[in-house]
């Protein structure tokens, strides 16, 4: 039996990866690992609060390990926290790290380099599965999720806080990856076959976080819209 930890983002891809792991009798999920921002105590990229993450973990019935990184971490600070965690996991008999990545090759190569340095194996349950197949799997399995973060110059304000379902996927603008794998959107998953009970929540304020992108002779401001899940 392979002892593994799943890197959990609070979103749909993590939830679908966990669902597949539960059906794999050769892998035992010992814990979830989530990267959180030390300053805001929120999940990196998704913006979900530590308290909502704790509620997810409780309904999943799986222990949670929190990996803390500085606000706006560089690769060096992330890798330091990652390798420190890996050393601790190995002491507990963990030999495999699981990620819900789908098709970003450069990200997979980066993870593989870090895992090799740490002496651990990797597993990607959703890797290279066509987006439309994953969308169908998400809906057919009974998962429910809401967008908690969207690119401001991509989907924009109209898409923040929307429920994922047939209407959502059918109306995504052309060029948008259905699973949001290019960062178009991130989600908070609150119900589905991996949860003991549905997680009750309400929505709060929407916050814009700018990102300045340098292009040739000008700097373009874009960023992300975050919805507070309470």
Q: What does the pLDDT read at residue 177?
A: 97
Comparing 166 with 216, which gets the higher pLDDT?
166
Beta-sheet strands, E only, within the chain: 2-7, 27-37, 42-43, 64-69, 96-98, 121-123, 144-151, 185-191, 203-215, 218-229
- % of residues, the chain, pLDDT over 70: 96
Q: What does the pLDDT read at residue 73?
A: 79
Query: Distance from CA of residue 200 to its chain's centroid?
Result: 20
Q: How many CA atoms lie within 13 A of 225 on its CB side?
A: 19
Output the CATH code of domain 2-123: 3.40.50.620
Average confidence score pLDDT of the chain: 95
The Cα–Cα gap between 137 and 163 comes to 16
Q: Is the pLDDT of residue 218 over 70?
A: no
The 8-class DSSP code of residue 225 comes to E
Where are the domains positioned within the chain?
2-123, 131-229
The Cα–Cα gap between 146 and 159 comes to 10
pLDDT, average across residues 199-219: 79
Q: Are strands 96-98 and 2-7 parallel, antiparallel or unpaired?
A: parallel
């Amino acid at each position: 039996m392979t002892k593994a930890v799943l890197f959990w983002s609070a979103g749909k891809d993590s939830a679908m990866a966990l669902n597949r792991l539960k059906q794999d009798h050769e892998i035992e999920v010992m814990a979830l690992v989530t990267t959180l921002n030390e300053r805001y105590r929120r999940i990196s990229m998704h913006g979900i609060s530590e308290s909502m993450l704790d509620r997810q973990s409780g309904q999943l019935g799986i222990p949670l390990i929190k990996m803390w990184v500085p606000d706006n971490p560089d690769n060096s600070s992330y890798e330091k926290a990652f390798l420190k965690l890996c050393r601790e996991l190995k002491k507990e008999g963990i030999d495999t790290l699981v990620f819900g990545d789908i098709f970003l090759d450069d990200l997979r190569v980066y993870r593989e380099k870090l895992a090799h340095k740490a002496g651990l194996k990797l597993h990607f349950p959703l890797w290279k599965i066509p987006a439309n197949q994953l969308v169908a799997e998400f809906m057919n399995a009974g998962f429910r999720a809401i967008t908690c973060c969207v690119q401001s110059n991509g989907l924009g304000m109209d898409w923040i806080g929307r429920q994922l379902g047939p209407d959502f996927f059918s109306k995504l603008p052309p060029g948008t990856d259905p699973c949001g794998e290019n960062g178009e959107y991130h989600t908070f998953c609150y119900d589905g076959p991996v949860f003991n009970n549905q997680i009750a929540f309400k929505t709060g304020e929407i916050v814009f976080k700018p990102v300045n992108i340098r292009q040739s002779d000008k700097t373009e401001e874009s960023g992300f819209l975050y919805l507070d899940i309470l």
